[in-house]
Structure 1
């Protein structure tokens, strides 16, 4: 499903209560203005992103929504971050150039289904060879905010453009991903079908996780 226009995406972020009406660089007026400007230069199907310094993944994740059918009828599940990822906002861009601006656009993202069952370590050089850049976690969450249908059972994605760098400079082996909760374990049955921010190991494979990427970011 094609993404809406960038101005329409700004309107949706405002409706979700993410853009304050306070005149700041990430306020509603500023984001709408940036969306209008970017809409004149960004390629069709681009995704609007407010820099994580203004809206962190932990703030964005609960605004994700997914409609689920249950025995009691249709319900809407809200997104969440797994309980053992309290440091989610510390995962920053690694080997990815994110524009140092308040608002930017990501050219039509791809879920990377063809790379499902590859490990992040295996997928990274493949994406690089294609001239593509993996999405960051924040970018992935924005994608789900704008198009909830991009998450499907058994067809979800990793965002390996974000990694956690330890104080000694080495990278944490966890890599963030966004998928549909099965409602098991610590997630709780009440979250079955909800959009979920979690993590997987750098060298592990998962048949149901592709690798989201883009070919360009526009500032």
Structure 2
């Protein structure tokens, strides 16, 4: 059955939450409007068909009543299209916040080096859902190295680079001038951690050092990743980063 969610949040989302199915459709339509089907070399019909099985998963998420405001910096779920279909360098340019497009100081090759850290299992398929997302207000001014074990102790998982872009694609107003967020779930073998913040009024994808705190950067996380057939099992994350190996 459908579940009601809060219709507006403290973030001032430019959308109205009603039914979870309606929010899912809003996100699919948002991706279509941004040209995702063409970038993924699919027709709109084929693209929607790939995403359709996730609709029931979204509808089964815990409900929010219209008497309950969404916590600040929170989103109930976000639809993530994998970078194999829409690469991150293109996706960040399609983010729009207050009529300003996103950009990155990283080139496509550099972005491709950032892979999910050990213990993060991405669901199979073209796309999946992130559920119970927090942009990390409680980890502002906490280094990424220190934030990771804190998130794990809460039973949460850090967002990857592509998941962060997906979040601000659907919820651009979650990105605040004084509350950007690090994406601890992706590493490339050095001390850098990618992050999203506002620069010159625009959404920016950049990086910071894992050992440096910033008063304006938290660490984004989710409760789970949900695919069409199963919920991704995220075991074996430890209290420190395990950098990914890469061939690119």
TM-score, normalised relative to structure 2: 0.72
Q: Does 1:29 align with 2:48?
A: yes
Range with bigger deviation, 115-124 or 48-57: 48-57
- 2:88 corresponds to: 57
Give the Cα–Cα distance (whole angstroms) in 1 for the partners of residues 196 and 95 of structure 2. 11
Distance of aligned partners of 1:107 and 1:43 in 2 relative to their CA distance in 1, 3 Å threshold:
farther
CA contact 1:38–1:104 (8 Å) conserved in 2? no
Q: 2:209 — aligned with what?
A: 201
Q: Partner residue of 1:189?
A: none
Which of 106, 117, 120 in structure 2 is aligned with 1:94?
Answer: 117
Change in CA separation of 1:37 and 1:22 when aligned onto 2, cut-off 3 Å: farther
Q: Does 1:146 align with 2:164?
A: no
Consecutive aligned runs of 4 or more in structure 1 exceeding 6 Å deviation:
none
Per-residue CA deviation, residues 55-76 of structure 1 (Å, 9 max, x unaligned), is 1211100011121xxxxxxxx2
Find 2:193's aligned residue among 159, 171, 175: 175
Equivalence for 2:147: 123
1:40-68 CA-partner distances (Å, limit 9, x unpaired): 3344521111122111211100011121x
How far apart, in 1, do the equivalents of 2:146 and 2:197 lie?
A: 20
Q: CA deviation at 1:16?
A: 0.9
Shift of 1:23: 4.5
Check conservation: 2:78, 2:131, Cα contact below 8 A.
Answer: yes
Question: Residue 210 of structure 1 aligns with which residue?
Answer: 218
Give the equivalent residue in structure 2 for 1:185.
Answer: none
Three-state SS of the structure 2 residue aligned to 1:108 is: strand
How many angstroms does 1:14 deviate by? 0.3
Contact residue 110 and residue 214 of structure 1 kept, 8 A? yes
Q: Report deviation, 1:144.
A: 0.5
Aligned length: 195
Alignment correspondent of 2:71:
none
The root-mean-square deviation of aligned C-alpha atoms, in Å, is 2.3
Which consecutive residues of structure 1, in runs of 5 or more, have no partner in the other structure? 68-75, 165-170, 182-191
Note closer, same or farther for the CA distance 1:23–1:172 as it changes in structure 2 (3 Å cut): same
User: 1:187 — aligned with what?
Assistant: none
**Structure 2 unmatched ranges of 5 or more:** 1-8, 18-22, 64-75, 228-248
TM-score, scaled relative to structure 1? 0.81
